[in-house]
Structure 1
Amino acid sequence: MTRLSDEEAIELLKHGDILELGKQANEVRQKFHPGNTVTFIVDRNINYTNVCINECRFCAFFRPEHHKDAYLLPMETILQKVKETQEAGGTQIMLQGGLHPSLPFDYYINMISTIKNAYPDIVIHSFSPAEILHFAKISGKSIKYVLSELHSAGLASLPGGGAEILVDRVRKMVSPKKIMTDDWLNVMKTAHSIGMESTATMVLGLGETIEERIEHMRRIRELQDETSGFRAFIMWTFQPGNTKLGGNKFSSWEYLKTLAVARLYFDNISHIQGSWVTQGQQIGQITLAFGADDLGSIMLEENVVRAAGTAYQMSIEKMVRTIQTADKQAAQRDTEYNIIRRF
């Protein structure tokens, strides 16, 4: 199969037949993952602080440092949340916070090592490139040093958060204080260079053009050609509720079309994840006919999307039923996509 060019991908997004795209994406999924297994993970997002200096216009979660609703979780609370995760059959935690102006780099090293010492079996898949660059600035150290120290303390891999759209025109419009495209890619490249894998993400509906969506995918595909460090591509839609950016919700139709094109475009990334968190259970299920082989996490806790007014609930039982009623076999996986158990 010849590699899909940017021009071909743009043409498919603009004029492709959605059912034909789904069919083609499903065929590519079968080549990557023969059979009918669909995976998910049990994990928890621990939002350790909502204090953030970036003030992104698309985020309803952040608060300034001295705001009455600003918080920083005590270490005892974080450890309790990790304990609950493990007891619920969870294997991974994602520590996600704002860019706090007053916490030193040592705080994050201590947080990681304390969690790993108490719960050695829990995988810490945490800190987006924006957070990593923030740690480099506050410590006065290099990105490589920061990543190496976190890795040594117990950080296993990086989530792809903060990618939004990897085109500076869009980034300057929606999050002018946040890291730009080359910064995000550089953190990922550096992480991959020290053996730390990651995921890549994309947020649709931030005012980007179709051409810019494909430019975003191209930048990720090019880095993957170089490093092979991305385990998965994860795409979701902007939730405008309670945000300064506002606007309308992205259509599920357009989301499915873009998901299918992503599966066709990423000939070098194994896993494509469908989103039930922003799309709901039914569209999440339909993604399995549009190239997705994974439905992400049941999310024992999630606060960022919820702050924007979107809250869909999921349990292991509901996730398994969602997958099985799409005539697929449900399997719980770990962070590295190894299957832990089948249902």
Structure 2
Amino acid sequence: MITLESVSKSYSGKFGSVDALIDVSVQVERSDIFGIVGFSGAGKSTLIRMVNRLEEPDSGTILVDGDDVTAMTKKQLLNSRRNVGMVFQQFNLLETKTVFRNVAMPLMLQGKSRAEIARRVEEVLDIVELSDKRDARVSQLSGGQKQRVGIARALATEPDILLCDEATSALDPKTTEAILQLLKRINQTMGVTILLITHQMQVVQRICNKVAVMEAGRVVEQGSVIDVFGNPQSATTQEFVRTVINDQIPEAVVDLVKHDNRNARIYRLRSVGIASQSVLLAQLHRINGLEIHILAATVEQLEDTVIGLFHVQLIGSDEAIGLGEQHIDAAGITKEQVRI
């Protein structure tokens, strides 16, 4: 659906050239909700603006539904953009105009008839649950309602793709959740492919099925949300995942462990599915001469899958601990020794 292959982009400034994107490759399949996450300055906004060529790449290829966006004429690009809706962080609405007028704007620019415009505006306002605000001025709406108008406007032309540029970062947590669930429903019921950028890993956790993590213009890690959350590889990804899945041992527990002089090792265990953790712990308890303490545990649900993260302390002889390690490896659970 959306393919970026080896895309690079730099800007010239007072102090020389700045690399915004460096050899970025991303593949978004039809009906994905694909999240691009990164800190400020990572290159997220530049990347998403490449999809409809609001930014021109210095090199690389951008395919949208199989068509090379970088090779399109102005007329071809205009037609392509009609298939791509965009939702903005600051809404980008006409504050003094009515909700109806804002949503109708892209249809008016396409030269649709009044009857066609009225029909489609009513449809999308119903989708975003804002039919009762049809004649209200945008300036009278709350932030969440304004974003619903923005989503309705983006859907007005019946696009196959929705680009969301920090669509929830200006909203409070409760409103953010409502907007995320709206986007998820649009994806599931209308089949719209969603590419969103965010600096909040919670957004990715709530609705995305795939994610790419960016740092300093590069994609440092990407894959299914379950794979990336379940076993983050890069330091940046680990930092983001930590905001939703705590992988640290509480300080009070650390202090207690430090004063325990018995022969012991501590492991951080990550698994997809809670059953494997439960079976493993039962097996470890049956090893003669091995004592097991759970120092910390976190369980989170991603889509329909449970991600478990446990810190366990194995106490006993080197032989008993070695047997415990063998059981962990045999269970297919990712382990990492923690030194404190």
Structure 1 and Structure 2 fold alike (TM over 0.5):
no
Structure number having the greater strand percentage = 2
Q: Which has the larger radius of gyration?
A: 2
Structure of higher RCO (CA pairs closer than 8 Å, 6+ residues apart): 1
